Amino acid sequence: MVKVITIDGPSGAGKGTLCQLLAKQLGYHLLDSGALYRLTALSAEKQDVPFDDTEGLARVAASLDVEFRPVEKGVQVILAGEDVSSAIRQEHVGMNASKVAACQPVRDALLQRQRGFAEAPGLIADGRDMGTVVFPEAKVKVFLTASADERARRRVMQLEQAGLDADYAQILQDIELRDKQDRERKSSPLKPAEDAVVLDSTSLTIQQVLDRVIALT
Ligand SMILES: Nc1ncnc2c1ncn2[C@@H]1O[C@H](COP(=O)(O)OP(=O)(O)O)[C@@H](O)[C@H]1O
Ligand SMILES: Nc1ccn([C@@H]2O[C@H](COP(=O)(O)OP(=O)(O)O)[C@@H](O)[C@H]2O)c(=O)n1
């Protein structure tokens, strides 16, 4: 049985950072499911598929030509031969990802692709519905949170470090809107699985978060 550890939670809680560290420490594979929704949004934008065209969006999701290439500083995301690692991290792409992610046919189109990442010796799965829908049998499930203020502060620092523009008030507003959309949608809403451990990282360092999750494994 492949071991799966699911890390779900809202934007900026520290999921991506934690998952990379866990994957490295445990020697497990990594699934960044949010990247698949971001790629669907970016591809739809490139192909002029409107965000209310459910069938069109599902076709885009089903036909994503994507490669996750491990590099020294994380993972390079290649879409149809083009490096879109930075492009998919833009705030507007995150917002559009949240729109396409509310569409059940898109979620259906991505489900098997996500499950395919579960290979020996194990998988760290990062997202919103990893513990509730995609890997409900996972033995270790974490729901990572932090206050909206702290998450916006972290995102501003992250974007600035990547040389991108970042306005705190705008980012806080975007984070709160995306939280609301993700929590209130009918399809796979953002919520802790019943058997998830809820971890609030607001006043924890990255190392403290990592230690607490390692202790659960
Ligand atoms: N516990 C923490 N304390 C302070 N900063 C953190 C913590 N966890 C993550 N960060 C930083 O916050 C930013 C957002 O983290 P990220 O892992 O991308 O969040 P998510 O994947 O949940 O959106 C990153 O720059 C990361 O280094
Ligand atoms: N398993 C997942 C992962 C992401 N998503 C959607 O994709 C968007 C972008 O996810 P992400 O994990 O890349 O976002 P951040 O937490 O990095 O801001 C989220 O706001 C969700 O709407 C989802 O619906 N289900």
CATH number at residue 203: 3.40.50.300
Domain that holds residue 17: 3-209
With tokens 């739809």, the residue in question is 44
List all residues 6 or more positions away from 118 whose beta carbon is below 8 Å from its beta carbon: 2, 4, 29, 31, 125, 135
In-domain check, residue 64: yes
In-domain check, residue 51: yes
In-domain check, residue 56: yes
Ligand nearest to the CA of 188: 2
In-domain check, residue 168: yes
What pLDDT does 108 receive?
Answer: 98
What is the CA angle 96-100-101, rounded to 5?
110
In-domain check, residue 151: yes
Looking at residues 200-216, what average pLDDT do you find?
A: 98
In-domain check, residue 9: yes
Pair 49, 143: CB distance under 8 Å? no
Residues 133 and 127: their CA atoms lie apart, in Å, by: 11
Q: Does residue 174's CB lie within 6 angstroms of at least one atom of ligand 2?
A: no
pLDDT per position as a tens digit, 114-132: 999 999 999 999 999 999 9
Looking at residues 203-215, what average pLDDT do you find?
A: 98
In-domain check, residue 216: no
Ligand 2 centroid from CA 98, angstroms: 6
In-domain check, residue 71: yes
Q: How many domains does the chain have?
A: 1
Assembly ipTM: 0.98
